[in-house]
Amino acid sequence: MLSDSNLLLQDLRGSLKDRTEQPLKEKQILKVLVTGTLEEKMDTLNVLRNKHLNEKRHRDIFGLIHELSLNKKDINPDALLHLIQSRAKAAEYDEMIQTWRELLDVPVTDTVGNILDILKTTYKSRVVLNEIFGTCNKLFVRNEEPVEKILTKIAAAIISTEDEKEGMGIDEAAHNVVQRALNPPKASPGLMTGLKDWDRQFGGLRKGKVISIAGYTGWGKTSVVIHFICSLLRRYRKNEVAIQFFSLEMPEEDIAVRIICWLAEVVEHQLVNQNQEAFDSGDTTPFTEEERDRILEAEAIIHDWKTNLEIVHKTLDAKEIQQKGHSFALRHQGQHVIHFLDHLGFVDKKGKENRLVFDDIMKVMKSFAVDHKATSIPLVQLKKEVANKAKRGKTYYRPDEDDIMESGAVQADSDIVILLWRPGFKLQTISYDGNSSLDVRNLIFAIVVKNRGGWAGNDILFRSLIMFNQLFDEDVDKRLQGVTALKALPNVVGMDANDKPEQNPFPPIPDEDLPF
């Protein structure tokens, strides 16, 4: 491809007078700049100049590509699209988007006209849109601002209108509360997760709530998300629930692996290591016919979820997450929308302090809950000091709310704060609530740090099949010999936080040896 791009450049430089095939050649060389290898991009940028391009739209696109290069930013389709949206005004936008789409050989869908059509279709029954579209048309006609800013104003206008429409007086709010209490509905207002103790304490996943889940690496944060996604999409109809997962750390295929493991009940290690070398070494085994059928069925189920589950894997700052989240919620009006964010530490800081970034993104997650009555579930890491305490031999250490990264910002905008603890990551048994030898190798403790308007300070225990990303709570009472999960439970018994054990009698056990 490198030699082909050089030939194209020679043609462009040597045939400035003969423009018969020039547009096609210009398109081909721009495509190299957007989708080629780094070496191809650098070679092309070193010799290509604006004068080699005859068509204005190609020169405009090349100018943006050159700007990305001068700013030492990666030249890729997403970066170029973002630059078009942030720079192009309405009159230029459609043509530049058309050119961008042609370079990638994908259909044009996001023109100004299509954007307005989508809004009209979504809000066709709302009288208030006359005012909104009057404002939109003026903005587009004036051509004073980039399209990205115009779309942000449109979203703000719609959200403002929704707030005016959905506001209620204190008398109406009191009436609703009394009616639900005296004439209880058959079902809980929240979405049931299938985890009975969670659902009993929080009413499932309820609209308008921010539920922050904190935990150290390997303690089950992503497993909780995968379980919620699979359980909810299996339990509810398509028109009832829509899930947006901002996976800032884990790529789409890794998420697909975990979901397939949950649905098909196959081991992740086996799923991703199907090759002859692994078979010959005994590292893994081929799937049985039954397992293959379950995997194919899982793929079909995921395909059926494509309109209700959106995975966003890219580097985003708080503003970009807000825009994508509001757009998703507007597309799924009438459904219970859930936004997962994994995790706060990977939000693009744009040079800001960590504290300010956490404060910004938590306000964004809160805005989803307030503006769209969605359920927002951000994940957050614990401080590194937690691992250091374990390294010093304090394997009984139980984390608390002060161990959460930027705990103040997280708790301020959260309705519920859950702190995950997985002592089985290091130990076989612990002394817990009168049980001197509780087997914790497949238990996850959900410590309820905060529950606005409800019970807090207790533990909820899950039986976890981490290899399948599945959580259960049946048989927990038997395993705890009568301990009630919703009872306020003390911290781990048997060792003060300042004590140093003489010797750890329970060495760490790898996950594959756990007796599930």
The predicted pLDDT at position 136 comes to 61
Q: For residue 482, count other CB atoms closer than 10 A to its CB.
A: 9
How far apart are alpha carbons 294 and 299 in whole angstroms? Answer: 9
DSSP symbol at 339: E
Indicate if the pLDDT at residue 155 is higher than 70.
Answer: no
SS3 495: coil
User: Mean pLDDT throughout 403-430?
Assistant: 86
Lowest-pLDDT range of 162-176, 272-286, 300-314, 490-504: 490-504
| pLDDT range class, residue 286, cuts 50, 70, 90 | confident
Indicate if the pLDDT at residue 197 is higher than 60.
Answer: yes
The predicted pLDDT at position 210 comes to 94
How far apart are alpha carbons 404 and 210 in whole angstroms? Answer: 16
Paired with 464 in beta bridges are: 471
The predicted pLDDT at position 379 comes to 93
State what percent of residues in the chain have pLDDT above 90.
13
Indicate if the pLDDT at residue 195 is higher than 60.
Answer: yes
Indicate if the pLDDT at residue 514 is higher than 70.
Answer: no
Indicate if the pLDDT at residue 386 is higher than 80.
Answer: no
Report phi then psi at 246, rounded to 5: -80, 95
Indicate if the pLDDT at residue 143 is higher than 60.
Answer: no
How far apart are alpha carbons 394 and 385 in whole angstroms? Answer: 12
Element containing residue 504 per DSSP (H, E)? none
Encode pLDDT of 316-349 as tens digits. Answer: 888 889 888 988 888 888 899 999 999 888 898 8
Encode pLDDT of 211-234 as tens digits. Answer: 999 988 878 888 889 999 999 998
List CB contacts of 288: < 8 A, sequence separation 6 or more.
none
The predicted pLDDT at position 20 comes to 42
For residue 40, give both structure tokens. Answer: 């191809």
User: Mean pLDDT throughout 378-404?
Assistant: 75
Which of 41-45, 60-64, 124-128, 300-304 has the highest average model confidence (pLDDT)? 300-304
How far apart are alpha carbons 337 and 244 in whole angstroms? Answer: 8
The predicted pLDDT at position 375 comes to 95
The predicted pLDDT at position 485 comes to 33
Encode pLDDT of 242-265 as tens digits. Answer: 999 999 888 888 899 899 988 888
Q: What is the pTM of this model?
A: 0.61
The predicted pLDDT at position 511 comes to 37
How far apart are alpha carbons 92 and 83 in whole angstroms? Answer: 13
User: CA separation (Å) from 503 to 393, 395, 403, 432, 435?
Assistant: 9, 10, 25, 19, 21
The predicted pLDDT at position 418 comes to 93
User: Mean pLDDT throughout 444-448?
Assistant: 88
For the chain, what is the radius of gyration of the CA atoms? 27
Phi-psi region of 105 (alpha: psi -120 to 50; beta: other; left: phi over 0): left
For residue 201, give both structure tokens. Answer: 């304490």
SS3 152: helix
Q: Are 362 and 354 in contact (CB under 8 A)?
A: no
The predicted pLDDT at position 437 comes to 83
The predicted pLDDT at position 4 comes to 55
Paired with 470 in beta bridges are: 465
Encode pLDDT of 69-98 as tens digits. Answer: 888 788 888 788 778 877 777 667 777 877
Position with higher pLDDT, 88 vs 130: 88
The predicted pLDDT at position 417 comes to 94
SS3 449: strand
Sheet holding 459-465, edge to edge: 309-312, 241-247, 336-342, 375-380, 211-214, 416-421, 443-451, 459-465, 470-472
CA nearest neighbour of 248 among 364, 323, 359, 345: 345
Position with higher pLDDT, 412 vs 442: 412
Indicate if the pLDDT at residue 208 is higher than 80.
Answer: yes
* CATH fold for domain 196-513: Rossmann fold (3.40.50)
User: Mean pLDDT throughout 477-485?
Assistant: 37
| pLDDT range class, residue 106, cuts 50, 70, 90 | low
Indicate if the pLDDT at residue 134 is higher than 60.
Answer: no
Q: Are 224 and 471 in contact (CB under 8 A)?
A: yes
| Mean pLDDT for the chain overall | 75
Which residue in this structure is represented by tokens 């993104």? 361
Cα dihedral across residues 84, 86, 92, 94: positive or negative: positive
The predicted pLDDT at position 57 comes to 82
Start-to-end CA span in the chain (Å): 52
The predicted pLDDT at position 345 comes to 87
The predicted pLDDT at position 338 comes to 95
Element containing residue 396 per DSSP (H, E)? none
Indicate if the pLDDT at residue 38 is higher than 80.
Answer: yes
Indicate if the pLDDT at residue 209 is higher than 90.
Answer: yes
| pLDDT range class, residue 289, cuts 50, 70, 90 | very high
Lowest-pLDDT range of 104-108, 216-220, 286-290, 317-321: 104-108
The predicted pLDDT at position 371 comes to 84
* Helix, strand, coil abundance in the chain, percent, nearest 5: 50, 15, 35
The predicted pLDDT at position 187 comes to 59
CA nearest neighbour of 446 among 430, 435, 457: 457
The predicted pLDDT at position 495 comes to 31
How far apart are alpha carbons 322 and 493 in whole angstroms? Answer: 44
